[in-house]
Amino acid sequence: MAMTKKALICGISGQDGAYLSRLLLAKNYEVHGTARDAQVTSFPNLITLGTREQITCHSMALNDFRSVLQIMAKVQPDEIYNLAGQSSVGLSFEQPVETLESVSVGTLNLLEAIRFLARPVKLYSAGSSECFGNTGGLAADEETPFRPRSPYAVAKATAFWEVANYREAYSLFACTGILFNHESPLRPERFVTQKIICAARRIAEGSTEKLHLGNNAIARDWGWAPEYVEAMWLMLQQPEPDDYVIATGETNTLEDFVREVFSLFGLDWHEHVISDPSLLRPSEIMTSRGNPAKALDVLGWKARYSMREVVRMMEAGL
């Protein structure tokens, strides 16, 4: 029998970390996860998915090289999935230093630790479609230049080039998944998709509140998070490391998303939504569109669910 692989998921408490842990456990991995303080973190997403008791969690400060090196030497993983760091575009404008440090320094520390320990470790690093900025409505692929328009996107672009540099300079097996928006019921309410669904549900139950949103005209490529983590795993099973755009290939406006959600509850969104200028960002990407052709050609991965199915599954809590 093949030996059980060990995976270390940095940022296991988040949406993607939770779904990835479930996927890897189903594939008979020994799964380890990290949080800044694993002793006091309750890992509610892991509890929701029923995986908490099957995972060994460690305290690790990703921006502290010694902490990273210590956990890497202790766990000795075969695969590392770096999903950690400040993950909100909106919040990055308020916390630019924390965002840049948590994403770029954290990624660099993992790469340096892999190089230092000289073990055949495969690294997946979470990139972002935000790096592309405005592409004039064109679908972005792996060759599209980066034009980041937020501190979050700048941080993710920095991490992307760190991974590419270590892959080329030191022959590390390191990949970046450039993921477009992907949602699930595990999203916290600070993300606009979950904010919309939670507000619509409360209004349907009798709340008189109004839903405050920024620019309803923005367009995004929304996918289903549980199948996006499959693409992460597939990247590390290839013979050679590379970077991949992961998306549905379908773009909808935020207004489309809002209309779809409110219609599920039998509501007219116009009666319950207010455009709030205070929620507009200093700079915004109007249209985000991905071309996942390479993922299909090389990984055999294709999104099965688009925005309308995602809305229904989020509302149902699947």
Query: Which are the catalytic amino acids?
Result: 128, 130, 152
Provide the residue type at 239 as one letter.
Answer: P
Sequence-ordered list of residues with C-beta below 8 angstroms from that of 48, at least 6 positions apart, any chain: 18, 186
Q: Which residues pair with 179 in a beta bridge?
A: 246
Sign of CA dihedral 290, 25, 8, 89: positive
Please give the full DSSP string across the chain, using - where no structure is assigned: -PPPPEEEEETTTSHHHHHHHHHHHHTT-EEEEEETTTTT---HHHHHHT-GGG-EEEE--TT-HHHHHHHHHHH--SEEEE--S---HHHHHH-HHHHHIIIIIHHHHHHHHHHHHT---EEEEE--GGGG---TTPPB-TTSPP---SHHHHHHHHHHHHHHHHHHHH--EEEEEEE--EE-TTS-TTSHHHHHHHHHHHHHTT----EEES-TT-EE--EEHHHHHHHHHHHTTSSS---EEE--S--EEHHHHHHHHHHHTT--GGGTEEE-GGG--SS--SB--B--HHIIIII-------HHHHHHHHHHT-
